[in-house]
Every structure is written in structure tokens, then in C-alpha cells.
A and B are shown apart, each in its own frame.
Chain A
Amino acid sequence: MSTVPGQAIFRDVPEPKRVGLGQKVWSSRFDYLYVAPALLVMLIVIGYPIYYTIELSFFNTPASLALSAKQFNGLDNYVTILTSPIFWKVTWQTVLWTVLSTFFAFMIGLGAALALHREFVGRGFLRALLLIPWVVSAVAASYVWKWLYHSDFGAISAMLSGVGLIDKPINFIDNTNTSLYALIVVNVWKEFSFAMIMLMAGLQTVPDTLLRAAQVDGASPWQRFWHVTFPHLSGVSMVTLLLLAVQNFNSFIIPWIMTGGGPAGSSDIWITHIYQLAFGRQRWGVASAYAVILFIVMMVLGYFYVRALTKGDEARAGA
């Protein structure tokens, strides 16, 4: 079909050929070379362990980890877990830990982001200081706070009695009633600046003209925040809350170093519990079954996480 000047080519054109999947894969075969090394590493160090964890969760493996001696025991490990009262106690503590840590880290981060949004002298420096807890290792944080909470020489007790709130030192972490909450404070200290930095970036996307228009319309600062700023932050907030929740759910270092899950399991959460089962008591099968349950929970959260992260990704055109 060739074009004669002045002649329209309009409708009546043959339907173009469809391209099969195999052909598409073949024509982009070089593209795969770029991702191959990364996928290979991830396959070895991620794919294989996931498979292996699932397998181990159906076996009874001797403490020595002599794999040749492992025995298939069906769903026994799962039954053991779900019928154990400790499971429910630990699960409840994990929920408390995750929800409270996430909530307070987010709210403090939001407050800090809003307070830092306005330009003022020393803002950059202040932001940097506030970010330090997030950069230092959780190991360092755990030791410092353990020392601050110390039952005999703790600075926090000393400060509280200095202002007359208490008369003798408090035992924060060797106390079944307070240990979990004491650890949550540490966790919030460590994490709020992550929420802060994400929300600060989110705030920059709020158009100034909208805020000014609202101001002209007579909206109070609170109304401006609620009707203009907050809706603009919803996307970032989603991602931030999810990331915080995932990270808190997966916490290990702070409880492990500060209390080891104690006293009497009062600050035990899933990960510390699994670690104790596996490497403390060599109950590999039960620990693996725990990990599989955890894995399933994370997959559900992960679905939302990936959706939030890749939103709008398809809109970008390829080279």
C-alpha cells in the first residue's frame, strides 16, 4: 500500500500481526543480562533459604542439625505452635510492639516534619541532629539505653527524682510490667527520624499556592493542615507507615540486647522468640514453622507495600 499524494489512508487497514510471548522474550534477551547477576545472587541467598525454611518446617531435625537424620512429621510443628499459650502471648506482645512503635514514631516524625517545614536559621543542622539516632547502629542504641535505664545508676531515674517525680530509682527493664514499654521508647527514639525525613519530602510536594489560597479563604492553621496538607501526604504516609510496620515487626536487636526477651518473656516478640527457639534451644523444625507463618503474614503486608511503592511506575516510558 503506497501513498499517493492527496489520498488519505483511513480505516480499512489490515490488523497488524500479534507478537507471541516467546518472540517478545527472545527479542529482549539482552535486557535480561543486566538483571541476571542480581537475580542470581538473590536466588541463591533468598530463593533457596525460603524453600529450605518451608521444608524444615515439616520435619523434626536433631539439635545437631544433622540433616540426614531429620524426620518428616507433617504439620506437627505448626500444631505445637498454635496450641502453645506462649505463642499467643508473644503474638500479642508483637502486635503491641509493632502498633505502638509505628504509631508513635509516625506521629513524632510528623510533628517534627511540620515544625521543620518552615525555613529558619539552623534548620539543616537541627535536622541532621535529629537524624543521628536513625544512623547509629541499633546495637549502640541498645547499650546506651540499657545504661540510661540502669536500675542502680540510671540517668533517667536520677533525672526523674531530681525533679521530684520519684524518690527511689525505678527498675525499667527488669520488670515484667514495664519492660516492653521501655523498649518501645527506645525503638521510637531510633525510628521517628525516618518518618520525619519521609514526611519532610512529602511536604515539599504540597503546592504553596493551595495553602495561600486556603489562608485567603480564612482557613485556620488546623483547617489548612487537615484539608490541604494532609491529603497531599497520604501517599507518602502510606509508604512510611508500611515501612515502619514491617521494620518493627522484624525487630530483633533492641529487645535481644536489652532484655533478651525477658524478664519472664515479658518483652519477647516474634523474632526474638524464633531466634531463641532455633539457636538457643535448637528446635529447628518449630522455629522454621514460625518463620513460615511470619513469612505468610509478611506476604500479605508485602502486597500492599509493593503496590504503594510501584504506583505510577508504569506511566514512565522506556528507552
Chain B
Amino acid sequence: MTMELSAGAAKRRGAGGWRWAGRIFLVLLLGFTVMPMIWMFITSLKTGFAAMQYPPQWWPAEPTLENYWRLIDPSGTVGRDFIQYFWNSIWVSTLTTILAVVVAVPAAYAFSRFRFPGRNFLFFAVLLRNMFPAVVFLVPLFILMKALGLVNTHGSLILTYLTFGLPLAIWLLKGFYDNIPVQLEQAARIDGATRFQAFLLIVMPLSTPGIIATSIYSFIGAWNEYIYAYTFLTRHDQMTLPVGIQRFFSENATDWPGLMAATFMMSIPVVVLFLVLQRYFVRALTEGAVKH
């Protein structure tokens, strides 16, 4: 009796021990995760002089928003360029997203619903694209873009971004279509809809969350892309943020507070987008991999 009791108590202590281990782990992990971001922000509030001190000022003695004003002030060269990069990024990411979704929707739908000869092969081919590093495509695409006269244009970026955006979009959307019962479309077709009407009037409204999720993915992917932009763009006025800020701050001695302010500004759109639409984002990612 007493033996059993003490064994039970030990077990409970064991479970409690695991729970505490979990909490401590989470706290440490949280520190590891947010520390760089907080440091990014704190540094961005410093003057160049304040940043170059050791040991560092953990909180700036005289916090300033000067670095941010410089970035968004269109009358200075820094501001003018930064705003240009920002718009370029928005434009390229938006257009990529729209094109990827428009092209991926019918393809994903077909892969989910139809069983045409070659379907498996084609779907594998699409998925396989995710396996290849950008570098495999870089040289020939560079040659292709040169031949098409697209070097230093946003067209070159959008076209290449589609290559990694499309497979992912098709895969994500297919996961969503797989979860919409076929019977709904069948019912619609019996109710007098054509196949296309059934898709448009019944399936499309139901897959809106999937389309939102896919759009965020495409957008963030394009927004963060670096290697193609770095290779294809040499002209200042065409650059997107990831390449632009680099060019601009490492030309002479690095202005760390300025660079931190720029990376902070660059991160804002995607982080906000992500936080607002987190629900869809997470669901889409796990849908395909987990729900078998």
C-alpha cells in the first residue's frame, strides 16, 4: 500500500519534472528566438557612435529614430533608393503571387480531381522542382534572360520566382482541394451546373482559405528571395530590398544602425502579414504533409 503510494507520487513528480523541463526549455528557446530581433531593433535606435562601443549599450543612452527617418525621407539619396527598393519588392512579390495563384489553381484542381494518363509522372515532376537549388538553374537562366533581353528587368525575376512559387502553390492548393468532398461538385453538376460552373460556384468559394494561404506563401517567398535578384539585377533602380540594402550599406564602412533599421523595415511587411493570417499559413503547411 505505502509502496504503491510512493510509486504513484514518484510518477507524478516525474510528470511534473517533464513539465518543468518543458517550461524551462521554452523560456530558453524564446530567448534564443527573439534576442536577435530585439537586438536588431535596439541597434536601429542608436547613433553610429553609440553602436560602436564595447561593452555595448544594452539600451541606447539617447534613442533616436534618425535611422528610420533617413530611410523614408524621399529628399535624401538613401531615402529615395530605399523607397524605390521597397516598391520594387512590393511590385515583384505581388505580381508573382497573382500569376502563381492564377496558374496553380487549375493545375492543383486537376491533380486533385482528375486521373488522366501521366498524372502521377507530371505531379512528381512538379514536386521535384522543390528539390533543386537555385544554382542549378542560375547559369542557364542567366543566359536565357540575357538572350531575351530581360537582365535587369523585373520580368526576369517574376518568371524565375514562378519556378519555385508554382510547385509549392500547386502542392498546397492540391492539399486543400483534396479536402473538399467530391460529392459537392457532383451535387452541383446534377443540379444543372457544368463542370466549370461547379468549380467556380462551389469549389472556389470553399478554397478561399487555401488561396489566401498560398498567396501569403508566394508573397513571402518572393519578398525574401535573394539569389536570383542578386544575379540578374545590377541596376540600382530595379533592385529589390534584399539586394538593395546590401549594396547600399556595405559600400563603405558598414553603418550598423542604418542597416538594422533597414532590415527591420524589410521584415515588417512579412511579419505583419504572417501574424494577421497565421491561421491559414500554418494550416496550409501542415495540410499536405500530415493529413494522409
Interface residues of chain A: helix, strand, loop or mixed (majority): helix
Give the size range of A's interface with the partner: 35 or more
Question: Do B290 and A189 touch across chains, with their CB atoms under 8 A apart?
Answer: no
Given A198-B289, A309-B288, A318-B114, A53 contacting B107 (CB threshold 8 A): no
Question: Do B116 and A25 touch across chains, with their CB atoms under 8 A apart?
Answer: yes
- Nearest-neighbour CB distance to chain B for A97, whole angstroms, equals 13
Question: Do A257 and B246 touch across chains, with their CB atoms under 8 A apart?
Answer: yes
- Nearest-neighbour CB distance to chain B for A54, whole angstroms, equals 9
Select one of A31, A56, A140, A236 contacting B116, CB under 8 A: A31
When distances are taken between beta carbons in the complex, the residues of chain B under 8 Å from A39 are 107, 122
B22 at the interface (CB under 8 A from A): yes
Question: Do B26 and A148 touch across chains, with their CB atoms under 8 A apart?
Answer: no
B82 at the interface (CB under 8 A from A): no
A131 at the interface (CB under 8 A from B): yes
Question: Do A34 and B114 touch across chains, with their CB atoms under 8 A apart?
Answer: yes
The distance in angstroms between the C-alpha atoms of A128 and B274, with both chains bound, is 9
When distances are taken between beta carbons in the complex, the residues of chain B under 8 Å from A169 are 54
Given A114-B22, A144-B36, A144-B260, A250 contacting B133 (CB threshold 8 A): yes
In the complex, which residues 148-166 of chain A have their Cβ closer than 8 Å to any Cβ of chain B?
148, 150, 152-153, 155, 158, 161-162
- Nearest-neighbour CB distance to chain A for B15, whole angstroms, equals 5
The distance in angstroms between the C-alpha atoms of A147 and B48, with both chains bound, is 13
In the complex, which residues 19-67 of chain B have their Cβ closer than 8 Å to any Cβ of chain A?
19, 22-23, 25-26, 29-30, 32-34, 36-37, 39-40, 43, 51-56
B235 at the interface (CB under 8 A from A): no
In the complex, which residues 141-180 of chain B have their Cβ closer than 8 Å to any Cβ of chain A?
141-144, 146, 159-160, 162-163, 166-167, 170-171, 178
The distance in angstroms between the C-alpha atoms of A241 and B135, with both chains bound, is 22
Question: Do A148 and B36 touch across chains, with their CB atoms under 8 A apart?
Answer: yes
Question: Do A25 and B103 touch across chains, with their CB atoms under 8 A apart?
Answer: no
B224 at the interface (CB under 8 A from A): yes
When distances are taken between beta carbons in the complex, the residues of chain B under 8 Å from A135 are 220, 270-271, 274
Select one of A42, A52, A139 contacting B129, CB under 8 A: A42
Question: Do A143 and B259 touch across chains, with their CB atoms under 8 A apart?
Answer: yes
Question: Do A138 and B140 touch across chains, with their CB atoms under 8 A apart?
Answer: no
Select one of B113, B143, B224, B275 contacting A65, CB under 8 A: B143
B170-201 contact mask (Cβ, 8 Å, vs A): 1 or 0: 11000000100010011000000000000000
The distance in angstroms between the C-alpha atoms of A256 and B200, with both chains bound, is 45
A267 at the interface (CB under 8 A from B): no
A182-209 contact mask (Cβ, 8 Å, vs B): 1 or 0: 0000000100010001101110110000
Question: How many residues belonging to B are interface residues under a CB distance threshold of 8 Å?
Answer: 104
The distance in angstroms between the C-alpha atoms of A299 and B129, with both chains bound, is 10
Closest to A141 in B: B36
- Nearest-neighbour CB distance to chain B for A106, whole angstroms, equals 14
Query: B residues bordering A, Cβ < 8 Å?
Result: 11, 14-15, 18-19, 22-23, 25-26, 29-30, 32-34, 36-37, 39-40, 43, 51-56, 103-104, 106-107, 109-118, 120, 122-144, 146, 159-160, 162-163, 166-167, 170-171, 178, 182, 185-186, 220, 223-224, 226-227, 231, 242, 245-246, 256, 259-260, 263-264, 266-267, 270-271, 274-275, 278, 282, 285-286, 288-290, 292
Q: What are 17 residue pairs bridging A and B, where the CB atoms are less than 8 Å apart in the complex?
A: A35-B111, A41-B163, A42-B125, A53-B137, A65-B146, A137-B266, A140-B264, A147-B260, A153-B52, A158-B56, A239-B289, A250-B135, A279-B231, A294-B135, A299-B131, A318-B113, A319-B185
Query: A residues bordering B, Cβ < 8 Å?
Result: 21, 24-25, 28, 31-35, 37-39, 41-42, 44-46, 48-53, 56, 65, 67, 108, 111-112, 114-116, 118, 126, 128-133, 135-141, 143-145, 147-148, 150, 152-153, 155, 158, 161-162, 169, 189, 193, 197-198, 200-202, 204-205, 218, 220-222, 235-236, 239-240, 246, 249-250, 252-253, 257, 271, 274-275, 278-279, 284, 287-288, 291, 294-295, 298-299, 301-302, 305-306, 309-312, 316-319
Q: Other than the known A49-B136, A49-B139, what 17 A-B pairs have Cβ atoms closer than 8 Å?
A: A31-B114, A37-B106, A41-B163, A49-B141, A50-B137, A67-B143, A108-B29, A140-B264, A140-B266, A143-B260, A143-B263, A148-B36, A201-B286, A235-B290, A236-B290, A295-B132, A305-B127
